[in-house]
């Protein structure tokens, strides 16, 4: 099977195949630039990471978080499960000895075996960069290649639910290197996703994008110019350079630490020479409004955010103009009651499992605070603790239920449906939920780097007993509890969850003062 519409695919194959074997690898090997599919994947997330991985001081890297190790392990197990449906050959070679892996894979391809797992493909480009691709699976197809009347097509096996572009780019990269190795383009390539099954990647659509990304990645590796830091928690939190980059960003007071500054907004701000907190804090919002991706609201908020950060104090999102001043939030939006519940869930979304409903019961009259952890010690207990949660919250039918972000409401709705809980129980419950994240971001601008619970509560002086704990770590602890039966892991989860509930309580009390100091209990 050759490419039918070859004009739509790149006409030139990567340069000649380097068929050196492992014996030729010498001390100079470490000087070579190996651009693997993993490097390309990382480049799409962050060019700086690719640069640091190649040229950075390795001692500055931090230990990978447990959660990353867990993701790798889950991914490996998933791959083995998918591979086990049919026999396969697997080349044997010393770890990261790409040339040995390539030689062993080539041998299997020459023999024309049906399936090759974890093969290594390699090609050396004119610029001296060695492209290395490791598809999870190579499957034999009818067609013509340098081996004879057959060729191979690549498949990647991914844990993710969706065929994200970076997955598709990686498999297009396999196809690109494979074309050079077998002297023929494979017509097809696929992803096997955990929930969606097999997904055919459109090479005609993705190859041009892959080539652009590959070009950028090669320039980053060859030019040796360190890309600017830009902290984005969604991509940086699991990166081994995080501490190093975060220190650099903090010492420069980099604008990526200012909530609301995205990479594209940052580019527009730099073009206007607005590169510091001071210049943004004094900029007229009108100057920013017309920039792409801004608008009046974003512009105003950004200027105030810079002011709040510089002054290290909370600012009202909209200044009170009425006389006498009216509360920023009504009592129905932010109720105070004799008994209040503070609620936080621990869940493993990829397993569709809720393993802890943590509820802090605050009795303002009796001046007591009681933490009630409803914990599923095993997967099968999820339904039991859901019913325990319902019993607990129904004991206090008038108590508002404070939480932070929409996840708790979404989960209660989902569990209600899943366990067939009658709507006459769920509906009144949902009306008692108060999302403090929504209230805080609606009325206040705070000198924090993000509006997650931790930075806000920490700014208010609250400290978690375990400073390193977070939701991802909690999932790892739960896995370790299941694997070892060591109850210390459960204790760590409960301690973290209780602190989350108490932090939510702290934020609520602060918000009452900030928004409506004259409020009285209902
Ligand atoms: S911490 Fe963030 S900015 Fe630094 S290398 Fe990693 S992903 Fe890039």
- Compute the average pLDDT of residues 97-124: 97
The residues, any chain, with a CB within 8 Å of residue 400's CB and separated by 6 or more, are: 335, 337, 340, 341, 432, 433, 434
Q: Which pLDDT score is estimated for 23? A: 35
Verify whether ligand 1 is closer than 6 Å to residue 48 (CB atom): yes
Residues 302 and 288: their CA atoms lie apart, in Å, by 9
Tell which atom from ligand 1 comes closest to the C-alpha of 230. 3
Tell which atom from ligand 1 comes closest to the C-alpha of 45. 7
Q: Residue 465 — very low, low, confident or very high, per pLDDT cuts 50/70/90?
A: very high
Is omega for the bond preceding 324 within 30 degrees of 0, making it cis? yes
319 has pLDDT over 80? no
* Distance from Cα 414 to the centre of ligand 1, integer Å: 35
517 has pLDDT over 80? no
Verify whether ligand 1 is closer than 6 Å to residue 241 (CB atom): yes
- Pick the range with the lowest mean pLDDT from 320-334, 411-425, 433-447, 465-479: 320-334
Q: Residue 13 — very low, low, confident or very high, per pLDDT cuts 50/70/90?
A: low
3-state class (DSSP) for residue 437: helix
Dig out the tokens for 138 from the structure.
């190579």
* Distance from Cα 300 to the centre of ligand 1, integer Å: 28
pLDDT tens-digit map of 254-294 = 999 999 999 999 999 999 999 999 999 999 999 999 999 99
| Residue pair 436/444 in contact by the 8 Å Cβ criterion | no
Determine whether domain 6-223 maps to CATH 3.90.320.
yes
* Distance from Cα 229 to the centre of ligand 1, integer Å: 7
Q: The pTM is what? A: 0.86
* Domain extent listing, the chain: 6-223, 253-312, 339-515
Verify whether ligand 1 is closer than 6 Å to residue 493 (CB atom): no
- Pick the range with the lowest mean pLDDT from 128-142, 208-222, 326-340, 389-403: 326-340
* Distance from Cα 46 to the centre of ligand 1, integer Å: 6
Q: In terms of pLDDT, which residue wins out, 313 or 196? A: 313
328 has pLDDT over 80? yes
Q: Which pLDDT score is estimated for 30? A: 62
7 has pLDDT over 70? no
Tell which atom from ligand 1 comes closest to the C-alpha of 47. 8
**Into which CATH architecture does domain 253-312 fall?**
Orthogonal Bundle (1.10)
Q: Which pLDDT score is estimated for 64? A: 85
Tell which atom from ligand 1 comes closest to the C-alpha of 46. 8
Nearest CA, atom 4, ligand 1 = 245
- Compute the average pLDDT of residues 210-217: 97
CATH topology (fold) of 339-515: Nucleotidyltransferase; domain 5 (3.30.420)
Q: Which pLDDT score is estimated for 498? A: 98
pLDDT tens-digit map of 412-434 = 999 999 999 999 999 999 999 99
| Residue pair 163/199 in contact by the 8 Å Cβ criterion | yes
- Compute the average pLDDT of residues 187-207: 94
Mapping DSSP onto H, E and C, the string for 216-249 reads: HHHHHHHHCCCCCCCCCHHHHCCCCCHHHHHHHH
Burial (0-12, 13-18, 19+ Cβ within 10 Å), 233: middle
User: What's the half-sphere exposure (Cβ side, CA atoms, 13 Å) at 351?
Assistant: 17
């Amino acid at each position: 099977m050759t490419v039918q519409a070859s004009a739509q695919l790149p006409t030139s194959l990567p340069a000649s195949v380097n068929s050196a074997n492992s014996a030729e690898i010498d001390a100079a090997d470490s000087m070579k630039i190996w651009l693997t599919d993993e490097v390309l994947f990382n480049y799409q997330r962050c060019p700086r990471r690719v640069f640091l991985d190649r040229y950075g001081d390795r001692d500055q890297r931090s230990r990978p978080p447990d959660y990353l190790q867990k993701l790798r392990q889950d991914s490996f197990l998933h791959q083995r499960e998918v591979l086990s449906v049919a026999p396969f050959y697997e080349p044997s070679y010393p770890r990261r000895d790409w040339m040995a892996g390539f030689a062993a894979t080539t041998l299997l391809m020459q023999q024309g075996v049906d399936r090759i797992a974890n093969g290594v493909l390699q090609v050396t480009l004119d610029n001296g960069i060695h492209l290395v691709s490791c598809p999870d699976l190579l499957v034999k197809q009818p067609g013509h290649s340098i081996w004879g009347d057959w060729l191979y097509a690549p498949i990647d096996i991914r844990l993710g639910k969706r065929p994200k572009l970076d997955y598709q780019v990686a498999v297009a990269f396999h196809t690109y290197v494979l074309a050079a190795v077998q002297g023929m383009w494979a017509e097809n390539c696929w992803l096997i996703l955990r929930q969606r099954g097999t997904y055919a990647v459109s090479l005609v659509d993705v190859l041009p994008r892959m080539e652009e990304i590959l070009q950028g990645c090669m320039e980053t590796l060859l030019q040796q110019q360190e890309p600017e830091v830009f902290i984005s928690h969604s991509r940086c939190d699991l990166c081994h350079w995080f501490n190093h980059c975060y220190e650099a960003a903090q010492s420069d007071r980099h604008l990526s630490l200012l909530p609301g500054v995205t990479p594209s907004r940052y580019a527009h701000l730099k073009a206007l020479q607005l590169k510091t907190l001071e210049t943004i804090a004094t900029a007229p919002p009108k100057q920013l409004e017309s920039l792409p991706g801004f608008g009046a609201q974003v512009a105003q908020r950004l200027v105030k955010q810079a002011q709040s950060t510089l002054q290290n104090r909370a600012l009202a999102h909209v200044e009170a103009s009425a006389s006498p001043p009216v509360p920023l939030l009504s009592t129905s939006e932010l109720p105070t009651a004799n008994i209040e519940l503070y609620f936080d869930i621990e869940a493993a979304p990829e397993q569709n499992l809720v393993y802890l409903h943590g509820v802090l019961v605050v009795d303002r009259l009796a001046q007591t605070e009681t933490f009630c952890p409803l914990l599923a010690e095993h997967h099968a207990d999820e339904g039991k603790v859901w019913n325990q949660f319902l019993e607990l919250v129904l004991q206090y039918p008038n108590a508002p239920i404070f939480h932070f972000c929409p996840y708790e409401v979404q989960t209660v709705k989902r569990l209600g449906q899943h366990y067939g809980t009658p709507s006459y129980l769920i509906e009144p419950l949902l009306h008692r939920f108060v999302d403090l994240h929504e209230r805080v971001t609606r009325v206040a601008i705070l000198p924090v780097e993000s509006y997650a619970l931790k930075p806000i509560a920490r700014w208010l002086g609250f400290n978690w007993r375990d400073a390193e704990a977070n939701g991802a770590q909690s999932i790892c602890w739960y896995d370790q509890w299941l694997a070892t039966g060591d109850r210390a892991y459960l204790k760590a989860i409960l301690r973290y969850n209780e602190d989350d509930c108490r932090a939510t309580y702290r934020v609520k009390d602060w918000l009452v003062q900030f928004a409506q100091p004259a409020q009285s209990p209902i």
